Amino acid sequence: MDLSIVIVNWNTRDLLRDCLQSIEAGRGSLQIEVLVVDNASCDGSPEMVRTEFPQVQLIENKENLGFAAGNNVALKKATGRFVMLLNTDTLVHGTVLADAVAWLEAHPDVGVIGPRVLNSDGTVQPSCSAFPSLKFLTMQACGLTRVARWDRYRMTGWDRSSELKVDVISGAAMFVRREAMEDVGLLDEAFFFYGEETDWCHRFGRAGWGLVFVPIPEVTHFGGGAVRQLNHRRDVMMTEGTTRLHRKHGGLVAGVICFAILSFHNLSRALFWSLLSLVNKKGAKDRARHFLSVAADLPKAWPSHKQLAVRS
């Protein structure tokens, strides 16, 4: 088997259908297996897969296990020489699947690659980044990364037309070498929805495997997918995942500092949008409401000791 494509789904039936259709159109001569892990959807997703894509391996979880654990269920069953993690809210285009496999075959020291990823309007998406260090998080909280030439974190000043070694590849479209995965282990299931691919990439790099952005065309990532259903909880979970990442790799002090930086980020946005709402700035009330809800739930964003005990 050349490539195993692993997709975790939670109530995104229509997006999943389009994604699977694009895979069928783009498989070419590759030997591909597609594994869909459904995290207890209630929108008819499993029925759609069984009816319309009988060749797909459908794994139905009885509860929502999250992104890391959901992927791990399929990764344990995958048989491909290479594995691709793919979001449901994506479309693969052209020969990107075959091109990725060929590139990895030619570069045996590279464990993970990311292809060129586009937004729905055709613009290039920042689908790879540096590790979210405390320095970069502080710059982001202060708004400095909005200036593209200063943004060494998300690298928004780079047009992604050339190959580049990076720290992190987005799990929305990530190709992984089996040998590398067997070397570092599966995703850390202590991460529920955010931070898991950053942790995985960090472990690949620490083990000596290269991580490279390769401008092979291409995957469209619409964004939103299951995340739209989370509302303000998305930012709460992002805070929790990033704090967990720093606690795991930097210790308690790093975790506390990370949590403080992200709390400042959310609290300052809550204040900013609340002030703008007083002068009836368009959209300000909704943004204020969002960040006030995030601020209210920040105590829930501190990683629990039970989850921290889980290690890869």
CA distances from 24 to 56, 155, 223 (A): 10, 32, 21
pLDDT digits (tens, 9 = 90+) for 118-151: 999 999 999 999 999 999 999 999 999 999 889 9
What is residue 311's predicted lDDT score, i.e. its pLDDT?
36
User: Strand pairing partners for 9?
Assistant: 38
The candidate with the shortest Cα–Cα distance to 31, out of 5, 59, 7, is 5
Q: What share of the chain is helix, strand, coil (3-state, %, to 5)?
A: 45, 15, 35
What is residue 309's predicted lDDT score, i.e. its pLDDT?
37
What is residue 281's predicted lDDT score, i.e. its pLDDT?
85
CA distances from 108 to 122, 179, 186 (A): 31, 10, 20
Give helix then strand counts, H and E, for the chain.
11, 13
What is residue 225's predicted lDDT score, i.e. its pLDDT?
54
Cα–Cα distance between 247 and 235 in angstroms, integer?
A: 18
Q: Are the C-beta atoms of residues 130 and 168 closer than 8 Å to each other? A: yes
∠ CA 79-216-29 to the nearest 5 degrees? Answer: 45
Cα–Cα distance between 210 and 97 in angstroms, integer?
A: 19
Cα–Cα distance between 231 and 233 in angstroms, integer?
A: 5
What is residue 224's predicted lDDT score, i.e. its pLDDT?
63
Cα–Cα distance between 268 and 198 in angstroms, integer?
A: 25
Helices (H), the chain: 13-26, 45-52, 66-75, 96-106, 134-141, 178-184, 196-206, 233-250, 252-277, 284-296, 305-308
Q: Could you give the angle at which helices 13-26 and 96-106 cross, rounded to 10 degrees?
A: 60
What is residue 304's predicted lDDT score, i.e. its pLDDT?
76
CA distances from 160 to 61, 109, 170, 245 (A): 37, 21, 14, 26
Question: Judging by beta carbons within 10 Å of its beta carbon (0-12, 13-18, 19+), is residue 291 exposed, middle or buried?
Answer: buried
Query: What phi and psi values does residue 91 have, to the nearest 5 degrees?
Result: -130, 130
Cα–Cα distance between 157 and 64 in angstroms, integer?
A: 37
What is residue 234's predicted lDDT score, i.e. its pLDDT?
86
- For the entire predicted model, the pTM comes to 0.91
What is residue 21's predicted lDDT score, i.e. its pLDDT?
98
For the chain, the distance separating the N- and C-terminal CA atoms, rounded to the nearest angstrom, is: 26
Residues of the chain falling short of pLDDT 50 = 306-312
